Structure formats: C-alpha cells, structure tokens
Amino acid sequence: MHGLGNDFVILDAREAPVEIDDARARFIADRKMGIGCDQLILLEPSYAADIRMRIWNPDGSEVEACGNASRCVALLIGGGSIETMGGIIAGSVEGGVATVDMGQPRFDWQDIPLGYAMETSSMPVGWKELQSPFAVNVGNPHVVFFVEDADRVDLATLGPEIESDPLFPERVNVNAASIEETGIKLRTWERGAGLTLACGTGACATAVAAVSKGLAKGPVRIFLPGGHLTIDWERGGSVRMSGPCTHVFSGEIDL
C-alpha cells in the first residue's frame, strides 16, 4: 500500500505469528533483493485496541509511529483503533480517504527527547542554513525548520547530519517547510528511511509548529512531493490527518 507515494509492505500476522528482526526487515525493504518499501508494517492482535501495528524502517530500526502507514492500515481494516509503540490512535475511512487521530503532540524537551534541557519552540541550535527549529513529538520525534523555499534545502546532506546529531539520543526526523498562499510546502528526511515522497507524521509536526508559531490556522494543507494532506489541530487538542491511500497489490513471500 502507499499514502502519497510513501509505500509500505504490510504483513498480516493476526492469525499466524510472523517473526521480524532487523535483518529480515532490511531484506524485505530492499528494492532490489526483496520487495521494496519505505517501511515494513506488521499487523498483530492487540489486547488494547482493534489491531496492533509495528513499524520497521529500511535500516532495520523499529520505530514508534508512521502517519501514512496508519492511514493505510485504517483503510485496510475499515477503521478502528490502532495500537502503536507511540500510543493508541483512531482511524476512520470515508470515500477512499482515511483520517487518523494521532493524539496530542508533546513539546517538553524530555518528550522529544533531547539530550539536554532547552526551549523547543525555537531551539537555539542550527546547521548551516537550517536554524532555530521547532521540536515536537507526534508519536515520533521531529524538528521543523521554516525556510524561504523548502525545495532549495539540501536535505540529502543536512538530513542525515541532523538526524544523527548527539542532541537527539533517539535520532530525529528533519522537516524543511515553507509557507505558501495555499498551504505549506514540506520536504522531510525520515529517520532511518531518508527522503520519501511523503511523511505523515512530518506533515502533522509541521502543521502543529505552524499553528503554534502563528504562521497558519487549522485545518492546514501540507503539500508534499507525493501530494497533499490535510492536518487539523488546535492548541490543547489532538492532531487529525486526512488524505488518500492506495492498495497496490497482495501477494506472498517465502521467508
């Protein structure tokens, strides 16, 4: 499945368990030797929700949340509650568009987490042209840089440098965003995955940052290389993300 080109291999382990480790995740995600995807998703039974979703990046690391994958899973199961490492989220489907309630964002430096205490709404740090980011946890950690033109930022170089900076003990997702008349243009370097056509949690983090800084009002349209998402958030509330998602094919792999 994919959400705006952010693509996933989804393994259904609700009736029979499937063991995944970092090596197996890397193999399945490999676009030449395996199936190929931005993230590997494993669906399992849940005692706390309708389904449990686990997420692996192409580098084999297991992560807490993935917004586009959550929408794909919501479409796959027809809506309901989804347990993730980042918390329980709720998904609904209408007319091929999936909406996911990602819960409330967290802003404390310990919740990102950062290596030491500092202001998160305008961090006193920078990397070349990317300065004073907004940090927020929307199920996984993000920093958002507002720039004049997101397309001109060299995220292929700066993304991995920021992701692995010691300031971020669990690494971090890196967003370059520019405010436009019709919404916000966004490019994201995803932790453990690199540049992708769309990042759902990145869109959520960027909308939260823009509303918090008075740069936008919800609902906010976020334009990504693969298409656009609509993010609705008001202070003190939860983040709701809506957009299309697509089932590409079903099959089997011999592991």
32 assigned to some structural domain: yes
Single out the residue of 166, 183, 255 nearest to residue 219, CA to CA: 183
Whether 133 and 231 map to the same domain: the answer is: yes
User: Is pLDDT at 151 greater than 90 in this prediction?
Assistant: yes
Does residue 250 lie within any of the structural domains? no
Of 38, 72, 94, the position where a domain reaches its end is 94
What confidence tens digit (pLDDT) does each residue in 40-82 have? 999 999 999 999 999 999 999 999 999 999 999 999 999 999 9
- Same domain flag for 213 and 173: yes
Where is 41: in which H helix or E strand?
A: strand 39-44
Are 17 and 57 within one domain? yes
Same domain, 188 and 85: no
pLDDT at 255: 83
pLDDT at 239 exceeding the cut of 90 = yes
Q: Are 55 and 156 part of one and the same domain?
A: no
pLDDT band at 212 (very low <50, low <70, confident <90, very high): very high
Query: What is the total count of domains within the chain?
Result: 2
Q: Which residues pair with 179 in a beta bridge?
A: 184
Q: Are 204 and 56 in contact (CB under 8 A)?
A: no
Q: Work out the average pLDDT over 155-181.
A: 97
Last residue of a domain, one of 47, 71, 94: 94
Query: In this predicted structure, what is the pLDDT of residue 95?
Result: 84
- Supply the CATH number for residue 57's domain: 3.10.310.10
Do 147 and 89 share a structural domain? no
Is 111 part of a structural domain of the chain? no
> What H or E segment, with its residue span, contains residue 219?
none
Residue 135 CA from chain centroid, whole number: 14
pLDDT at 171: 97
Give the mean pLDDT of 182-208.
96
What is the rounded average pLDDT of the residues 124-138?
97
Res 61: pLDDT: 95
Could you tell me if residue 11 is inside a domain?
A: yes
Query: For residue 234, what are the domain limits?
Result: 126-242
Q: Do 147 and 218 lie in a common domain? A: yes
Does any domain span residue 105? no
113 found inside a domain: no
CA-CA distance, 204 to 138, in Å (whole number)? 7
251 found inside a domain: no
Give the CA radius of gyration of the chain. 17
My answer on whether 211 and 141 are in the same domain is yes
Q: From residue 218, how far is each of 37, 115, 156, 214, 222 by CA, in Å?
A: 31, 31, 30, 11, 11
Q: Point out the domain boundary residue: 75, 94, 113.
A: 94
**C-alpha distances out from residue 75 to 28, 102, 116, 133, 172, Å:** 22, 15, 39, 33, 28
User: How many angstroms separate the CA atoms of 197 and 225, rounded?
Assistant: 5
The lowest-confidence range among 7-11, 110-114, 250-254 is: 250-254
252 occurs within a structural domain = no
* 75, 164: one domain: no
Q: Which residues are known to be catalytic? A: 66, 199
Task: Judge if 76 and 159 occupy the same domain.
Answer: no
Pull the structure tokens for residue 73.
Answer: 């899973």
Same domain, 85 and 25: yes
Residues 79 and 148 in one domain: no
